[in-house]
Amino acid sequence: MIKKSEQKKLIIKVIVVILLALVPLSALRVLLVYDDFTYIIFFKELIFSVISALVVASILYLITKKEIRKINAKARSYAFTDGLTGLYNRHYLNDFLLKFKILRKEGSVFAIAFIDIDKFKEINDTLGHEAGDCILKCLALKLKSLTRTTDTLCRYGGEEFVIIYNDIAKDDILEKMQYIRESVQNSSFRCEHKNITISIGLSFGKGGDDINMILQESDKALYRAKSAGRNCVKLFSKEDEK
């Protein structure tokens, strides 16, 4: 992405180059158009050229600024989007977590769900990586259809996904996690018509809590879900600290 300071330097350089080019061009115009060279005519031409250049530079500035914004928007999109699934990626999640700390209201409840595809390595080994990629894309679409616009869904890496829920009741989110797990289990993805299951680790926090700690807690809860036989939802408890 192009920084604002770099944008200003670039635009100033363009304006300076245009203005420096005007002096010899104005002199050349006087020599070509008029029979004799006089400083009065030269300065009149120069003033006219400078005004014209400033108008052109202003137009170029507006166009350049707009294009730079587009470039920065595309660069940000590429940097924060997972190339395979189209979901936000881990870089976006890290950036989001920093802002999330500031935006959280004191006392408001949030939840983080850590989701992992069960036995994904076996899928890659038996069906191939192309089928594995297909399953990742299908699961991403499924999860997206089961989340709200106010939720934040990311591909954390590999076969792991993270969902951050804002301002939601604990009973509601537990019920929702079970619904998501069952929906995935009962879905037959078009990739080799393969059915998959997922394990989910869940942790709750409130405004003022360290969100990175809550993320770690949901990861520990996920580990317990995998250890408990997979295809289940586990809520973080103090036992996971042991």
Catalytic residues: 159
Interatomic CA distance for residues 29 and 205, integer angstroms: 73
Query: 100: exposed, middle or buried (C-beta count within 10 Å: 0-12, 13-18, 19+)?
Result: middle
Comparing CA positions, the residue from 41, 75, 181 lying closest to residue 118 is 181
DSSP structure string for 37-73: --HHHHHHHHHHHHHHHHHHHHHHHHHHHHHHHHHHH
Determine contact, residues 85/62, Cβ cutoff 8 Å. no
